[in-house]
Amino acid sequence: MKTNYRSLTLGAGLSLAAGLAHAGGPALSGIVAEADTAESVFAAPAAMSRLEGNHTTVQGMYVSSFGDFEVDEDKTTIDGGNPEHGDDPIIIPALYHVRQLNDRWHVGASLSVPTGFGSDFGPTWSGRYTTVDYSLVYVSLAPAVSYRFNDKLSFGASLGINYTQSVSEVKIRQPLAERDGKIDSDLDGVGVSGTISMFYEFTEQTRGGISWTSDSEADLEGTIKLRNLGPVMEEIADRKGLKNIDAEITNTLPQRVLAGVYHEFDSGKYVTFDALWMKFSDFTVDNIELNDEEVNITAPEIYDDFWALTAGIGIPVNERLTYKFGAMYMSQPVDDEDRTLAMRLDSMWAVGAGISYKLEQGRGLDVNATLLNTGESPVDSDGDIGRIVGETDDPYALLVEMTYHF
């Protein structure tokens, strides 16, 4: 069961690393303080106080990865070579709504998939005993409220109801059989997190905000199935009741802090700066139960707290059209010497460009394109099943975001 646990860890870790996905500008910029659309309800609920009337935003982001994991066959001791497939393209949707109740109170809600990841590496590659394929979908419904204390200061809060589904497959060796067996898992659960935020408008041209989001613990429940077993393993699994295992795992998504500022110059150009800090060292999978029996597995303490910085600039062309540019850098969540196939996270950077176009009757359209470098993520994993060495070739991904405001 240890291999399946590591595969689940990968999906959750990637989910955290992509927590900036629903930013307002290219290269994941303009997260907190741009605050001129309904997207504010997601990152900084207090910023809803800037909006007059009712606002709705529909968003879709297309993500396609160009990277392939390349196995160093001179150092790897498990046969199979490179994966047959890489990361499949995904589409990440989101919906935001803000409603003004009066001069002081706003309410809103967001329904988003902060990330969705899936990979199909094939059943014969060298890392098949760690992962063959997996998918993780994380859906968050977050009702929110904000209160304008005075002309400058606002407070806000939201409650995140977070649904997670993890599906994975790994191979298992069968010494007395000609083929590998496999372990399939399908787990899901719901966790809850809370966000509190503050927003301050220094002048009509300068504003800033900060948000803190708590940990979210979800008890993922489902079934782990052993399949394609040889005669000996089949008999052992039947005798011990291991072919279909009821599983429960507690997954903790760590707390984070977001902060940002916005400044508009007299020319109409503006800049944004945002920062994210996540206590990723608290990421863990524990309280593992298989068939109602607790399994004593200690999660490895290999994860580091990480931070990210983004910067953006907007250049108005006329009253309707604005060009946008952005850049982002995220620190390394896992040290090189601790990285495994199941947690191939590295430092990341991104650059992007986009346009914002104002339509009639308060409607608007944003289109952003971002090139994301996810890092080569070198791995040298030497375990009981053998040694696997490799890194990601062409570690880039393209993010194309289209957003409609009305």
β-pairing, 379-383 vs 54-65, is unpaired
> What does the DSSP 8-state code read for residue 74?
T
Residue 12 has a pLDDT of 33
Residue 9 has a pLDDT of 32
The pair of structure tokens assigned to 267 is 């020319």
The pair of structure tokens assigned to 272 is 């944004």
User: How many secondary structure helices (H) and strands (E) does the chain include?
Assistant: 3, 21
Nearest to 394 by CA among 368, 375, 367: 375
Distances (CA, A) of 32 to 25, 261, 332: 11, 7, 23
Q: Which CATH number does 2-405 carry?
A: 2.40.160.60
pLDDT in tens, 353-379: 999 999 998 899 999 999 999 899 898
Sign of CA pseudo-dihedral 121, 123, 127, 133:
positive
- Dihedrals φ, ψ of 150, to 5°? -155, -165
Q: Any idea which residue has 């009305």 for tokens?
A: 406
CA distance 35 to 37: 6
The pair of structure tokens assigned to 231 is 């005669």
Q: Any idea which residue has 């994210």 for tokens?
A: 276
CA distance 176 to 178: 7
End-to-end CA distance of the chain: 49
> What does the DSSP 8-state code read for residue 269?
-
Q: How many residues does the chain have?
A: 406
Residue 10 has a pLDDT of 33
Residue 11 has a pLDDT of 34
pLDDT < 70: residue spans in the chain: 1-24, 85-88, 114-119, 296-300, 342-343
Residue 185 CA to chain centroid, in angstroms?
21
Nearest to 140 by CA among 163, 157, 158: 163
CA distance 343 to 341: 6
CA distance 231 to 176: 9
pLDDT in tens, 296-330: 666 667 888 999 999 999 999 999 999 999 999 99
What is the share, in percent, of the chain residues with pLDDT greater than 90? 48
**Three-class DSSP category at 168:** strand
CA distance 214 to 91: 27
CA distance 151 to 353: 33
CA distance 276 to 49: 22
CA distance 312 to 370: 12
CA distance 295 to 247: 10
- Dihedrals φ, ψ of 176, to 5°? -100, 15
Residue 337 CA to chain centroid, in angstroms?
23
Domain ranges of the chain: 2-405
Nearest to 210 by CA among 383, 85, 45, 390: 45
